[in-house]
Amino acid sequence: MINKLWFYMIVIAVAFAATGKKLEVLTEEMFSSLSAAVELGIGLLGGMMLWCGILKVAEKSGLVDKISDFIRPLMKLLFREIPSKSAAMGAMIMNITSNMLGLGNAATPMGLKAMQELQRLNPKKDTASNAMCLFLVVNAAPIQLLPATVLSLRASSGSVNPGIIIIPAVISSFAAVSAGVIACKLLEKTNGGRR
Amino acid sequence: MSFIIPVIILLILVYGYLKGVKVYDVFIEGAREGLVITFKILPYIGAMLLGVGMLRSSGGLDFMLYILRPLTRAAGIPEEVMPLIIMKPLSGSGALGILADILRRSGADSFAGVLASIVMSSTETIFYTITVYFGSVGIKNIRHTLAAAVIADVTGLVAAVLLCRFILFR
């Protein structure tokens, strides 16, 4: 999908520039946007060192597990049909905790593991179970306590207060995830297209 | 709100120190990973800054935003943020590139810059996640997943706009 999108962005740009006689501006922009990317990357290096270093401390100190303990009861409530001691539940909790701390690298493998375990509990192998749909929706609106990349990007773009977005982001993702869960619970009652 | 980042860092380090973590060594280990991640995402940011930059300087972006104008006006969303809202569900790294573009042009502390940062940190790349996660176990019928995920995404966006408009930028 992204391949097509990017390709058409370039094609449309060249087409517009050619018809609007802006090809010179376009050529200039091509090189200036890439050098902007390099400048940005240099700024980003600093912020990412800071946040990834701090997050590593959080991971090693067991803070990540503390957060897991905090969300476990919530997960039990949401996923009633999944046994709370099962591997599926464990993987889901790990995935969501990693997402909350913006540890994307750790989140995806755990998420895929969770899907495998949920598939094992799924009676119809080509159709998503209620738990799978809900897990994906919860995953689609992660409550990020530390959006490290965004914070670094803001700092390197000269923000005087990069952290101003943290609390609003937590609130809006909480709103998103609540709406998603409610929608899921309502739609699964209508059987949500189960064949 | 300027206390928030130092406080978070201090809390994490104090907790780690009390738990007997070698905070300096571990920080170095993590910072090294941060460097690797930055190098990994930089080509994505570059590609997207190139695409968006070309689209903008050619007049193509203005045209698209012109078409979307009734929608953005009605929702109270600054036009600059629209490309991010469109890209976010499709590609996380693509969206990061667009966020970089918005922060560079509108300023990180402008209304558009703050809203874009909140949108970027509060929603996920739903189409990508759905494709990869369901694809990995061979699910064909995803039932109501997409509908519910889109509802979540739109709710998050509305909440972000409201927070920006009525709390952060009164």
Domain boundaries, chain A: 2-17+24-189
pLDDT digits (tens, 9 = 90+) for B50-90: 998 898 889 888 888 999 999 999 988 999 999 999 888 88
Using DSSP's 3-state secondary structure scheme, residue A159 falls into: coil
Pairwise CB contact (< 8 Å): A159 & B113:
yes
What are the domain boundaries of chain B?
4-168
Q: Is residue A149 within 8 Å of residue B93, measured between CB atoms? A: no
Region A28-56: mean pLDDT is 88
CA–CA separation, B47 and B44 (whole Å): 5
In sequence order, what are the beta bridge partners of B124?
Answer: none
Contact residues, chain A, for B2 at CB < 8 Å:
161, 163
A41 touches chain B (CB under 8 A): yes
Identify which of B99, B107, B106, B159 has the alpha carbon closest to the alpha carbon of residue B125. Answer: B99
What percentage of chain A reaches a pLDDT higher than 90?
Answer: 49
Q: Are B140 and B130 in contact (CB under 8 A)?
A: no
The reply to whether residue A1 touches residue B127, judged by beta carbons under 8 angstroms, is yes
pLDDT at position A191, please? 61
Neighbours of A77 (CB within 10 A): 8
Q: Is the dihedral of CA A101, A105, A111, A117 positive or negative?
A: negative
Residue A128: closest C-alpha in chain B: B142
Closest CA of chain B from A49, distance in Å: 4
Give the residue from chain A lying closest to B169, CA to CA: A164
pLDDT, tens digit (0-9, with 9 covering 90-100), for A61-119: 988 788 888 889 999 999 999 998 888 999 999 889 888 887 766 778 888 899 999 99
Q: Does A121 touch chain B (CB under 8 A)?
A: no
Flag residues of chain B having pLDDT under 50. Answer: none
